Amino acid sequence: MEIQFYTLLKVDNATNSVSFETFANTQNIQDYIWELINNCVDNEGDREYIFEPTLQTTKNYIDNIIQDSNNRNEICKLLAEKLLVVENETQERIAHLQKEIPKGILMISFSKMTEIEYKFVITKADYSEFLEELSGDKRSGLPTKKKIFKSFIMNVSSNENGEFEYGKIITYDSNTSTKAVYWWKTFLELSEVRDNEKNTLTAYNAIKKNIIDPLRRTHKQDYLYLRNTTIGYFRTDGDFDINHYKDNIIGSYQPFDKSLDINELKKKIEKLPQKNKFDNIFQKTPRVVTDKFKDVIKLTNEIDLNLKQDILNIERIIKPHEDGQGNQYIMILSSEGYQYAEGLTKSRNE
């Protein structure tokens, strides 16, 4: 990888100013740039985007930065000034929430990855609280460790005529609870490739087909529990987050069947977004998931157990039982069922 171009600008809402940053310690700042780029390149991003066709300002700036080496710094400053305006407008709208958009460093870079592949990256990185002023000395607070909080990463390729063509665009936002619309929509002028409804249906069907349904044959109890839990997750408002689903919904689950490998399920889940074309994070649309909290479990040729809805702490309601003679039973906590069974026993004994 070779950095073709980079610049750092301070975007300061407090002073309403944008300024280029220079450093005495060039090696530290070079290491810093490499780390930022590597973090962005390695990250899979939250969502995939395209440039909004009706808005061309940001795209034109990026075109000029990539293609015009003589005016890059001038265009980068215009881009930073645009971000400052957008952040000031956003700050006014959220002032009543007592939240502030922090002062930060805007890094714009263009890097050659292979002979024909490039990465264009725009990253907003926050200052640490103890930061004095950027000096190139990591000890003074350069935010290199998990301090990137907004990024734009675009694949660029060079065709046989030497012209640059744009490919996949993703964004990353470290604030997983509230993605900043001002960053991707207002500042970057992007549109989502897939809307929330399509994402919800695609993600649910992919998880159902590849993760949940295969459990039905060999892990019946775990299948039922994870099926209902997954339906519940998708049928509630809020964001879908593939890592949250993988680590919390599936990863924290303690299987009834000890042979069920949860880590193997997590590995399969990680591959689903790219394989099935849905975003890692999106706002769920619960109404498109029509599966209900119910299932029919065959007990014998004559008897089915019909579960009509999700059962809280199901392991306390339904339990397995063996009598020591090789006979296997199912126990269900039910006073009505007990009275019915007791009545059957009495009638047979009379």
Domain boundaries, the chain: 2-192, 196-288, 295-349
User: pLDDT at position 304, please?
Assistant: 87
User: pLDDT at position 102, please?
Assistant: 75
pTM of the model: 0.74
How far is the C-alpha of 130 from the C-alpha of 319, rounded, in Å?
56
Residue the block writes with tokens 């005495």: 24
Which among 139, 146, 150 has a CA at the least distance from the CA of 105? 150
56-80 exposure pattern, b = at least 16 Cβ within 10 A, e = fewer: eebbebbebbbeeeeebeebbbbbb
How far is the C-alpha of 140 from the C-alpha of 130, rounded, in Å?
7
User: pLDDT at position 24, please?
Assistant: 66
Contact 211, 231 (CB under 8 A): no
User: pLDDT at position 132, please?
Assistant: 39
Q: What is the DSSP secondary structure assignment for residue 213, as one 8-state letter? A: T
Residue the block writes with tokens 């002032």: 95
Contact 226, 253 (CB under 8 A): yes
Reported in sequence order, the residue ranges of 62-200 that DSSP labels E, i.e. its strands, are 104-112, 117-126, 148-158, 164-173, 190-192
Mean pLDDT in order along the chain per 10 residues (350 residues): 86 89 68 70 79 93 90 94 94 83 85 91 69 44 54 91 91 69 93 94 98 93 90 93 95 92 96 94 94 79 80 77 90 89 69
Strands 164-173 and 47-51: antiparallel
User: pLDDT at position 139, please?
Assistant: 46
